[in-house]
Amino acid sequence: MITVQEYLGEKGCEADLAELICLIAEQAGPIRSAFISHQRYATSLNTSGEVQAEMDTWSDTHITTVLAHSGLVSLIASEEQEKVYECRNSTGRYSVVMDPLDGSSLIAVNLAVGTIVGIYEGRSVLRKGNEMKAALYLLYGPMTTLTLSVGSGVALFSQADDGRYLLMEDSITLPEGTIYGSGGERPKWTKKHTSFITALEAEGAKSRYSGSFVADFHQILRYGGLYAYPAAHGKPEGKLRLVFEAQPIGFLAEQAGGRISNGSSDLLDILPEEVHQKTPIYVGSRGIIERLEALPE
Ligand code: AHG
Ligand code: MN
Ligand code: MN
């Protein structure tokens, strides 16, 4: 099995970008080690108004510090920081958007959580998702895995005991499938969402929803199906963030032949206006998303 460095070389990945991807992937070790001593909730709220888990802030500070000293990054937009972080006197070629710890409500119950990262070239973080140069997520499960795209398909790596990431699968395709997970409270779902989910269930779809977007998406990437966090009555924009969650995961989904939508159009074509803006998310099998988008509002 080849390493992620060898994979990036074979893909002709620009040297600084390859170095940045590997630097981010290397943070899985310190993050995993920090879980045992950071199990509690902090007393602070993030910009989305959510109580921060200790690991949210620990991971955010850790990754931001590593990137700020790398000389590879000029801006960092993080779910856990109100403002965009400007790396001091950096001529870094790339800007990074990140959800440093996704699924943090699951830390206390030892279920899979992850780190979601998108990388753009240049000094700006409000970009259309299809301009991304690389997207990845680290998944802290029984194995530590890296799911990565540099724009030529999706590859899966597992971290070996010596810290190297070894290629498990390349050119992963997101199949049509019959599992679905939907966030939000069913009584507050819109009529369109309720009837779509009900139709999938009537066709035999099975629910798979853990509370960790990155873990739930990883299942959809493998088995096909749908992850949704929809608009709801009183929450027209849903819960998840366009810049830190939807765009990187959506880039990976579309690189694997899947789709990401807000229910009516491709989320990767949307230019964010505000770093913390939220969006309804439907991500998964192309056929399912196209069927949803064809429904009348
Ligand atoms: P985060 O921990 O980064 O805030 O993300 C949590 C998100 C997402 O990972 C998950 O699918 C969703 O919130 C769960 O929301 P509910 O608890 O409302 O189901
Ligand atoms: Mn998240
Ligand atoms: Mn998070």
Token digits for 52?
A: 């921060």
Tell me the pLDDT tens digit for each residue of 20-35: 999 999 999 999 999 9
CA distance 15 to 18: 5
Atom of ligand 1 nearest to the CA of 48: 4
Q: Residue 119 C-alpha to ligand 1 middle, in angstroms?
A: 22
DSSP class of residue 26 equals T
Is 183 a pocket residue for ligand 1 (Cβ < 6 Å)?
Answer: yes
Which ligand ends up closest to the CA of 59?
Answer: 3
4-169 against 179-293: fold identical: no
Q: Residue 104 C-alpha to ligand 3 middle, in angstroms?
A: 6
Domain 4-169 maps to which CATH number in 3.30.540.10, 3.30.210.10, 3.30.70.3270, 3.30.420.40? 3.30.540.10
Is 181 a pocket residue for ligand 1 (Cβ < 6 Å)?
Answer: no
Q: Probe ligand 1: pick from 46, 79, 213, 226, max atoms within 8 Å of CB?
A: 213
Atom of ligand 1 nearest to the CA of 239: 13
pLDDT at 45 over 90: no
| pTM of the shown model | 0.97
Q: Residue 103 C-alpha to ligand 2 middle, in angstroms?
A: 6
Contact 209, 182 (CB under 8 A): yes
CATH architecture of the domain with range 179-293: 3-Layer(aba) Sandwich (3.40)
CA distance 269 to 296: 21
Q: Which of 70-79, 83-92, 99-108, 282-291 has the lowest mean pLDDT?
A: 83-92
Is 60 a pocket residue for ligand 1 (Cβ < 6 Å)?
Answer: no
CA distance 281 to 217: 12
The type of residue at 16 is D
Quickly state the pLDDT bin for 89 (edges 50, 70, 90). confident
Residue 193 confidence (pLDDT): 97
User: How many C-beta atoms lie closer than 10 Å to residue 236's C-beta?
Assistant: 11
CA dihedral 125, 130, 134, 135 (to 10 degrees): 90
CA distance 256 to 51: 33
pLDDT at 192 over 90: yes
Residue 46 confidence (pLDDT): 85
Is 102 a pocket residue for ligand 1 (Cβ < 6 Å)?
Answer: yes
Residue 47 confidence (pLDDT): 86
Residue 42 confidence (pLDDT): 75
Domain ranges of the chain: 4-169, 179-293
